[in-house]
Homo-oligomer: A and B are copies of this chain.
Amino acid sequence: MEPRQEEQRGPEGNMSEVGEKKRRSAEDGAERSSDLSRDQLNLAATFVSDAQYNRNIPFDSSPQAVRLYLLYNHSLLHVLVYIFILVDLSLALFEEPAVVSLPLWATSAMELVCLLAFTVRMVHFAKVIPHRTFFRDPKNLCIIIIITLCLIDMIIYAALYASGHSSVRWSRVLRPLLLVNVTEGRQLRRAFRSIRNALPQILVVFCLFIFSVLMFSLMALKLLGKRNLTTIEGAPYFTNYLDIIFDLYVLVTTANSPDVMMPAYNYSSFFSIFFILYIIINTYTFMSVFLAVVYNNYKKYLKEEVRQLVKAKRQKLCRAFSLLQESVGGAGREPVVSQSRWTELVKRVQPSISSAHRELLWNVLDHNNAGHIGKQAFVQVADLLNIQVITLKSRPHPLQLWIPAVYDCTASALVRRIVQHRVFVYVFDAIILVNAVFIGLDEEDPLVSNAEWAFLTLYLLEILMKLYTFEPRAFFARHQFWNWFDTIIIVSALLATIINAALKSSGGYTSRQVLDIVFILRVLRLIRVVDTIPSFRAIISTLIKIGPPMLTFGQLILVVYYIFAMVGMELFKGKVQFFDTGSEDPAQEYCGNPMLKGSAFARNNYCKNNFNDVVSSFILLLELTVVNQWHVLTGGFTAVTHISARIFFVLFHIVMVIIIINIFVAFILEAFFVEYMVGKSDLQTSLEKKIEELNLCVEQHPADGTLVDAMETQDNDMGSSEGVKAKPTLMFKISSKRYRTMDGLLQRMFETETDLSADDGDEEEPENFSNPSFTPA
């Protein structure tokens, strides 16, 4: 491991010019730090790293357990766990009813391998943490139970299969729960916990809502049931109480508006008052109240969780501090950590950051240049390491080094001036707009297909000119999203177009797939235009920023979809058949099921919306989430099975639309508000101030009054690092944070509100590193 070697070299080896004035004090520290054992340092680094990533695993502090724990946290193993979960989940593609059929032994073998992997991971985890805590943790018990049940189900199924019986693979609904219960599913677990805690309140509103639906239904029965009205299909209108309840429940989803009203409205305009009141009360007011209650409760419990998270983080950092602390200047003084120990720690925690960056961070913590920091400063280290600092090295262009005569000549300078000019951007925006028109035209026209080559050439030229002007490594830096986007799209489009042309000229045959890809890439190219409009860029960058935390929602939705898809497949597989468009089968008319003859489901050609395989199920569930035509889609499945199938669909509606979509909306709202209102954190500000103080900052242009004061707006003003003049060759910039995890965003959301100063409970309960749990008060 690299950091260990660096440790041997000592801090003198890689001191940059930034820390020059600090060297002396650091050397003093280096002498004193020799008494620190490697195990202690390892343990401290583990605590800091846990604090940084908000891991809350109460691992054993013995050296071998710490080493095992470090292995446990290795990113490769995390990736492996997720791959195995993915494989386990995607087994549904190959098991009956399958998209691609595989024999039973193959899927069973794959499942066994996955289960084995989870077991190994579980055993590893059991070795890391003390035994008594292992069995106290519900998530471990959950995994053990899931693995056992899966095995039992496999054996039963295989036995029945061998004896010619068919059976239900009920354990498949348990698979997505692995995603929740693995150690890495922290954020997902928290989301579920928050939903669970919010449930009682949601239930109260739901009961009141159902009461309101029942009252309206009773009134509808009394007012309309005896009037001998018929629906457009000729069925009696509003005569059965249970049907009325269902119809009015569907009206809450708005799926059957205005159809459900029409017979009564046609009979008398006065009945429209009934439906208007219903829509105002149940569809608008109650649904808004649901959003308010879900939002508020979810936020409340999440806030409490984050509060506990921050507390646990602080405790971990305090433990790290007590491992590293030295006493300077007698017993009466507060214990401190010297720069050398700090440097070793940071090297171990985050080997990837440059020594200059490390020096900068130390400068932020050690205001008074004392050469050591107290506890108060030390506990900031995890947050400080989490701030993304972009190190900009103002390197000369490689061409300038290789062929300085050519690169610095007047013509070359002119080219570079042109590329950096605003007009250059405008010209290419205009080209994109013209291109958009050409894409809209018929591509069979030779003029259009020739123009396509011209556009491709122009785009390629643009990239080459930019690469000529800007330093390539800066151009392709990690945070230059749009440069990467451009280059990848253009190069792919070029390749696809060439392949397409080759295919065409060789056999006169055009591959539809290649052509599709060409078209998609052509259109995607146009997206770049949003980058040149600052207010668009601001919105996009906000959306990109809140993207990663949204992945937790993706997982949440995946879990819910998967469970409902599995149950739906068992209930409805094969009941509705889809016949390929070419088919002449008369059964096509009624989706292969005579019970659907003349139904709205068959009439609307919804045969492909079925539960016959996992992909169709997911698409159907998405359609049910959108809720339009909800009654037609569910009506089809009720017709082919039993009226009680409605329970399945209503349950899905409640879980997905009323709870999860509302949380999704609440989360976007909250994230946007944070972007609008919460400024930089104190630490970020002090880091920025320090960068400025040391005169290492990139020039900041005044923000152009955009929607969100997004720092990304600076990202393509690379010109500023070109005017080298008297500037240092190394510069720093705080990148606006793309929250790598949900935790980061959540903490930022609540950090202004959560006040921990009152109860930081320093060393009081240092062993209590359990996952934060919140019992409703």
A residues adjacent to B (C-beta < 8 A): 201, 204-205, 207-208, 211, 215, 218-219, 221-223, 232, 241, 254-259, 262, 265-267, 269, 272, 276, 279, 283-285, 288-289, 291-293, 295-296, 436, 439-440, 443, 516, 519-520, 522-523, 526-527, 529-530, 535-536, 539-540, 543, 578, 581, 604-606, 608-609, 615-616, 619, 622-623, 626-629, 633, 661, 664-665, 668-669, 672-673, 676, 707
- Closest 3 CB pairs between A and B? A292-B672, A222-B519, A288-B668
Q: Which residue of B lies closest to A670 (CB)?
A: B292
A218 to B523: give the CA distance in the assembly, Å: 7
Given contacts A201-B707, A516-B223, A536-B207, contact A259 B215 (CB under 8 A): no
Q: Is A254 touching B285 in the complex (CB atoms < 8 A)?
A: no
| Chain B residues within 8 Å of A211, by CB | 529-530, 536
Q: How distant is A93 from chain B, measured CB to nearest CB, in Å?
A: 12
| Chain B residues within 8 Å of A296, by CB | 672-673, 676
Given contacts A204-B535, A215-B526, A628-B257, contact A519 B605 (CB under 8 A): no
Q: Is A258 touching B626 in the complex (CB atoms < 8 A)?
A: yes
| Chain B residues within 8 Å of A223, by CB | 516, 519-520
Q: Is B606 touching A262 in the complex (CB atoms < 8 A)?
A: yes
A265 to B622: give the CA distance in the assembly, Å: 13
A536 to B203: give the CA distance in the assembly, Å: 11
Q: Is A284 touching B439 in the complex (CB atoms < 8 A)?
A: no
* A232, A256, A258 — most chain B CB neighbours (10 Å): A258
Q: Is B608 touching A288 in the complex (CB atoms < 8 A)?
A: no
Q: Is B608 touching A265 in the complex (CB atoms < 8 A)?
A: yes
Q: B205, B605, B629: which contacts A257 (Cβ < 8 A)?
A: B629
Q: B208, B265, B443, B536: which contacts A536 (Cβ < 8 A)?
A: B208
Q: B266, B283, B669: which contacts A626 (Cβ < 8 A)?
A: B283
| Chain B residues within 8 Å of A291, by CB | 665, 668-669
A269 to B581: give the CA distance in the assembly, Å: 12
Q: Is A669 touching B292 in the complex (CB atoms < 8 A)?
A: yes
Q: B215, B543, B622: which contacts A285 (Cβ < 8 A)?
A: B543
| 30 examples of A-B residue contacts, CB within 8 angstroms | A207-B536, A208-B530, A208-B540, A211-B529, A211-B536, A218-B436, A218-B439, A218-B526, A222-B520, A222-B523, A223-B520, A254-B627, A254-B628, A255-B628, A258-B626, A259-B629, A262-B605, A262-B608, A265-B619, A269-B615, A269-B619, A279-B622, A279-B626, A283-B626, A291-B665, A291-B668, A293-B672, A295-B669, A296-B672, A296-B673
Q: How distant is A435 from chain B, measured CB to nearest CB, in Å?
A: 11
* Copy count, this protein chain: 2
12 new A-B contacts at CB < 8 Å, known A204-B539, A211-B529, A296-B673: A201-B707, A205-B539, A222-B523, A255-B628, A257-B628, A258-B623, A266-B605, A283-B626, A285-B668, A288-B665, A292-B668, A292-B672
Q: How distant is A178 from chain B, measured CB to nearest CB, in Å?
A: 25
Q: How distant is A292 from chain B, measured CB to nearest CB, in Å?
A: 4
| Chain B residues within 8 Å of A530, by CB | 208, 211
A626 to B609: give the CA distance in the assembly, Å: 25
Q: Which residue of B lies closest to A622 (CB)?
A: B276
Q: How distant is A330 from chain B, measured CB to nearest CB, in Å?
A: 47
Q: Is A219 touching B536 in the complex (CB atoms < 8 A)?
A: no
Q: How distant is A634 from chain B, measured CB to nearest CB, in Å?
A: 13
A529 to B212: give the CA distance in the assembly, Å: 11
Q: B218, B540, B664: which contacts A440 (Cβ < 8 A)?
A: B218
Q: How distant is A625 from chain B, measured CB to nearest CB, in Å?
A: 9
Q: Which residue of B lies closest to A615 (CB)?
A: B269
Q: Is B707 touching A284 in the complex (CB atoms < 8 A)?
A: no
| Chain B residues within 8 Å of A626, by CB | 254, 257-258, 279, 283
| Chain B residues within 8 Å of A519, by CB | 219, 222-223
* A223, A255, A257 — most chain B CB neighbours (10 Å): A257
Q: Is A215 touching B523 in the complex (CB atoms < 8 A)?
A: yes
Q: How distant is A203 from chain B, measured CB to nearest CB, in Å?
A: 9
| Chain B residues within 8 Å of A664, by CB | 284, 288
| Chain B residues within 8 Å of A267, by CB | 581
Q: Is A289 touching B523 in the complex (CB atoms < 8 A)?
A: no
| Chain B residues within 8 Å of A609, by CB | 258
Q: Is A673 touching B292 in the complex (CB atoms < 8 A)?
A: yes
Given contacts A622-B279, A629-B258, contact A289 B672 (CB under 8 A): yes
A616 to B272: give the CA distance in the assembly, Å: 10
Q: How distant is A266 from chain B, measured CB to nearest CB, in Å?
A: 5
Q: Which residue of B lies closest to A271 (CB)?
A: B516
| Chain B residues within 8 Å of A606, by CB | 258, 262
Q: Is B289 touching A668 in the complex (CB atoms < 8 A)?
A: yes
Q: How distant is A619 from chain B, measured CB to nearest CB, in Å?
A: 5
A295 to B201: give the CA distance in the assembly, Å: 24
A530 to B210: give the CA distance in the assembly, Å: 12
